[in-house]
Amino acid sequence: MNSLALEIETWLGGALRPQNREVSPRVLARAIVLGGALQGAAMGSYALLNGGSAAFIVFSALKVPLFLGLAAALMLPALYVLYALFGLGEQFKTALRALMGGQAAFALILASLCPFTLVFYLSGASYRGALGFNVLLFALAAIAAQDVIRLRFAALLQHDARHARLLLIGFGLWIFVAIQLAWNLRPFVGNPDTPAQFFRPDAFTNAYLALWRVFVG
């Protein structure tokens, strides 16, 4: 029990208080998987709490860490090229480690919001309401994680102000990738009125075209 508590403290301290300690990429990866899985399980519990399948809990617990990992992997080539274009290629490895720490912070912040998800579900939320609430939590967690990323980038920002522009561009790219990837990997919130499924039949379609049809017609 003491060793587990110590490991959790290491995850939390390394991800959320980067100025106090430095942790290995392996520990950060564990934090991403654990935090994402906890939030995913909470998201997927909507179906079970409303008479549907418990399988959505397992599916979402797998998909949120997958979402976080794929989003980071898809951004790597673009970020590498951007750092090279800005003449900061030699600092890419340091920046990448800082961004990984930001992903870990994002996952742990999401996990800390699990109780709010469950309370909202138990308050009689509709399926659309559950979707909107989870989008809000993800947005809040992403914004909060930016503070941690800036702490991790503190030395780089002092060395060269161009890192601030790259952070802004990177966040914009992450939002663009995350929206499309979340569409591909849905459903995260289990609909009690549908059979349990890991992917939707139209999973590999364009999220932005779908949004265009919704808002423009």
Distance CA 93, CA 156 (A): 11
Distance CA 52, CA 198 (A): 15
Which tokens go with 101?
Answer: 């720490």
| Confidence at residue 23, expressed as pLDDT on a 0 to 100 scale | 76
| Confidence at residue 217, expressed as pLDDT on a 0 to 100 scale | 62
- Is the whole model's pTM more than 0.85, yes or no? yes
Distance CA 32, CA 14 (A): 12
Name the one residue in this structure whose structure tokens are 């995850």.
11
Decide: 114 and 38 in contact? Cβ < 8 Å: yes
| Confidence at residue 14, expressed as pLDDT on a 0 to 100 scale | 58
Which tokens go with 72?
Answer: 């980071």
Name the one residue in this structure whose structure tokens are 């992450």.
174
pLDDT tens, N- to C-terminus, the chain (217 residues): 556 555 656 656 656 665 556 778 888 899 999 999 999 999 999 999 999 999 999 999 999 999 999 999 999 999 999 999 999 999 999 999 989 999 999 999 999 999 999 999 999 999 999 999 999 999 999 999 999 899 889 889 998 999 999 999 999 999 999 999 999 999 999 899 989 999 998 889 999 998 888 778 6
| Confidence at residue 50, expressed as pLDDT on a 0 to 100 scale | 95
| Confidence at residue 211, expressed as pLDDT on a 0 to 100 scale | 86
| Confidence at residue 165, expressed as pLDDT on a 0 to 100 scale | 94
| Confidence at residue 76, expressed as pLDDT on a 0 to 100 scale | 92
